Chain A
Amino acid sequence: MPSESTQPPNPANEIVLRLSGITKRFGPLVANDAISLDLHRGEVLALLGENGAGKTTLMNILFGHYVADEGSIEAFGEALPPGSPKAALARGIGMVHQHFTLADNLTVLDNVVLGTEPLWRARSRHADARAKLARLSETFGLLVRPDARIADLSVGERQRVEILKALYRDARILILDEPTAVLTPQETEALFATLKKLVERGLAIIFISHKLHEVMAVSRRIVVLRQGKLVAERRTAETDRHELAELMVGRPIPEPKVEPIPVGPVALALKAVTLAGEGHPRLQEVSLELHGNEIIGIAGVSGNGQGALADVISGIVKPSNGSLTLFGQEIHHFDPAWMVSSGVARIPEDRHAVGVVGDLSLEENVISARYREAPFSKRGLIDWRAVRDFATRIIADYDVRCPGPQAATRLLSGGNMQKLILGREMARDPRIILANQPTRGLDIGAVRYVHQQLLKARASGAGTLLISEDLDELLTLSDRIVVMYRGRMSAPMARKDVTIRHLGLMMAGHGFGGEAHAA
């Protein structure tokens, strides 16, 4: 395979970047603990670790956003001055952030050139820049239209622009922070092909990720970080996913077992639900039947109507057309409180902005949808003792690590916040669960926990709609899978009939053309 044969003609193992004993503390927290690693010319080094393992901190130190408390960095044999992104850039270190840093209203060429020219030059030398961009784009197979506006590009294309931006600045070391988080499987494959071309030309790449199969697919060496420490270094050829998962978490992780069970009666039915939006509809004639004892996975590139679907089922917006039936009863009054009291549990996509109120305490947050009900309030007066008992029970039952029920919720880690939300939503034995990206950004331990809870609810009769961008998650948990594309929904497919490749094609819109008016 090409990645194994990346032995360039020049000294193959030339060290281009060396981090020695990097330590960074934030108060009592040691984000990076004496981390040393070498990056060789012409290799992809994967930096694997859970959230909070210290990957991003390390890269921010490398790029000069933070200054390490101890340790030093050498690039191409010379010490890199700490705390200077400018020096890092000048030395040929380029970074592609997870969230793109492109100006939407400018063209590709403008974005690439932006920041490389002095501000006071009256006319920019776009002709030279255009030639260089064309050369780079041809050499590395990164096809983009230089005059297209960023706003008109797909996510995959934007990422190409980001990479070109770094190459344009003559980057020889490229850092990619969770680059596949927003890509379809096909786009991911294209990215991996590009990375191979880049290392063949002698670039060195650090690939940051927590997705095991990607790390296995793209890297030559893997470095595992856990709680700020470098815990292992492996040649990719000599390890496997199970070992990596254990190294990442520090303990064995059992795979969830999904046993087939017969489905219950229809719990939730959508019939030709349409939701108007600006321009094109956010939902277009979406029909779906969710039974008890089943999990339906909803796949799709983010922004293809999943959010709108979640809003409708959460009771936040009223569909412009079509009907929604809960347990055989059509809903006319769309209201979140009503949905909750009819047995719908909702795990929102953005737990910080929507799931909880960070400035309120845990106990205040667990009653946010139920504060009007007994025993939490009577005649408009809140019974804080009942609330505290309830919060304490959730904290214990769902293993929420926190200082106590009166602590501010924003102090919780993502995983604990999600456990709190899960506890709040599951506490009343919901019959329908809407889980929108329930494991995004969580570490493996917390992900497994969420999966177990969803499977437990499935076993006890609940129907679950699981919206996720993580195809592994969908293929593991779902009984049936649908794909959303531009507000439309595919027909449900049994899990055994679906492959990642197939899903990827559908996520890119294949098979949706003829179905536009069929539903």
Chain B
Amino acid sequence: MRLEPRTEPTRSIWVIAPLVAIAVSFLVAAVLALIGGASPLSVFAAVVRGAAGTQFALVETLTRATPLIFTGLAVAVAFRAKLWNIGAEAQLYAGAIMTVVLGTGALPLPAQILVPMIMVAAMMAGALLLLGPTYLKTHFGVDEVVTTLLLNFIMILFVSMLLDGPLKDPMGLGWPQSKRVIADAALPKLIQGKRLHFGFIIAIGAALIVWFINARTTFGYEMRTVGFNPRAARFAGIPVNWVMAKTALLSGGLAALAGVSEVAGLKGNLTLDLSPGFGYTGIVVAMLAVLHPVGVIAAAIFVAAMFVGADAMSRTVGVPNYIANVMVATALLTMVTAMLFTRFRLKLR
């Protein structure tokens, strides 16, 4: 068996690959369900019902998808330019910190001003957080995979310090949590009495804006060119380091919006368990979407549905909800493998 390069690239595979990835993940999950002592069909039915069977389930899925769209976009933007941002988690917390710093009463402003202000400040914080590793990469060749990944741990410890210090809620009975955001800083709910909030709309808007940037602007062109071939880009006179820096600002800013959206739209305050790894899951989302911003929306909803559905399923069928992790991971692995076949074909000899 050997790999031979394809002379003709196939376009259909960009559509087929994600579908195959999902199919394979279901197949693996079926085996696990059998091992867990349940019929695969009943497990899948329970997952689908739990993710989209009721209005409550659907709302829950979209709520969970919201931060994933932001982090998925952040990763997709960076990866497109071959800037390996593994630090969306840290950038998310940077956005969350800015939200509670500005949104818990320090600035008594009307919502129309306060919310945009928080968003801009949060994006700046997330952007700056990624700018450091990017500078080290472009000027000293320091691997950004390492620096951005390690910043995640530094950031979570920093948040922990803040929550036991300056940002600690005096009324919090000693729990490491911040004060709640004031009403003017909160994102409105989309449906009265449900958890889905305005952050979802912002996320969709962000995806469309990124799409527009990629397709129509010189900046999108620069990111693509630098990502595919930095040497040729430099030869053509594209300022590679500056493009990297701009990409970092956009990517970090998008990830920070996930933090704003979670705190101001859903949780109301900052805690250490604000993100169950949204930053890392964003990588999966971006890969499943083959880095396409609109694909990110679909991929985020799929991944969110898996997790929400599996939670519900484990309550009814009794198979552990870790099956969702397995399914998402399998989908990712299949996807990455499938991407290989856009450039190569398998030849049996």
Contacts and interface: CB of A to CB of B under 8 A. Distances in A.
A156 interface: no
A382 B213 CA distance: 10
Nearest to B228: A359
Contacts of A340: 237
A263 to B, nearest CB: 29
Contacts, number: 74
A437 to B, nearest CB: 14
Contact of B218 (A336, A337, A354, A382): A382
Among B221, B224, B236, chain A packs the most CB atoms within 10 A around the CB of B236
Given A372-B218, A382-B217, A382-B221, A316 B228 contact: no
A316 B236 CA distance: 9
A369 B301 CA distance: 39
Given A27-B7, A337-B237, A381 B217 contact: yes
Nearest to A335: B237
B344 to A, nearest CB: 14
A19 interface: no
Given A381-B217, A382-B217, A411-B7, A360 B225 contact: yes
Interface in A294-350: 314-316, 335-340, 346, 348
B219 A353 contact: no
Contacts of B236: 336-337, 368-369
A408 B9 contact: yes
Contacts of B224: 360, 364
A51 interface: no
Nearest to A336: B237
Among B216, B219, B225, B232, chain A packs the most CB atoms within 10 A around the CB of B232
A404 to B, nearest CB: 14
Residues of B in contact with A, size category: 20 to 34
B218 A357 contact: no
A314 B218 contact: no
Nearest to A26: B7
B218 A377 contact: yes
Interface in B227-243: 228-229, 231-238
A367 B228 CA distance: 15
Among B216, B218, B228, chain A packs the most CB atoms within 10 A around the CB of B218
Interface of chain B: mostly helix, strand, loop or mixed = helix
Residues of A in contact with B, size category: 35 or more
Contacts of A338: 237
Among A346, A360, A368, A384, chain B packs the most CB atoms within 10 A around the CB of A368
Contact of A357 (B216, B228, B349): B228
A281 interface: no
Contacts of B220: 382
A369 B239 CA distance: 11
Contacts of A408: 9
A380 interface: yes
Contact of A380 (B217, B228, B231): B217
Interface of A: 26-27, 29, 67, 314-316, 335-340, 346, 348, 353-360, 364, 367-369, 371-372, 377, 380-382, 384, 408, 411
23 contacts: A316-B235, A335-B237, A336-B235, A337-B238, A353-B229, A353-B232, A354-B231, A354-B235, A357-B225, A357-B232, A357-B233, A368-B232, A368-B236, A368-B238, A369-B236, A369-B237, A371-B221, A380-B219, A381-B217, A382-B216, A384-B216, A411-B7, A411-B9
Given A27-B7, A336-B234, 17 more contacts: A26-B7, A336-B235, A336-B236, A337-B236, A346-B235, A354-B231, A356-B232, A357-B228, A359-B228, A359-B229, A360-B224, A377-B218, A380-B218, A381-B218, A382-B216, A382-B218, A411-B9
